[in-house]
Amino acid sequence: MSATTDEPPVTEPLSDDFRDRLRELPPSAKLVAKVLETDSPLSQGQLAEESLLPDRTVRYALNRLEDEDLVNSRYSFQDARKQVYFLNR
pTM of the full predicted structure?
0.81
- pLDDT (tens digit, 0 to 9) for every residue of the chain, 89 residues total? 444 444 444 466 778 888 989 999 999 999 999 999 999 899 999 999 999 999 999 999 999 999 999 999 999 999 999 999 999 87
The answer to whether 86 touches 71, Cβ cutoff 8 Å, is yes
d(CA 35, CA 31): 6
d(CA 42, CA 58): 12
d(CA 14, CA 17): 8
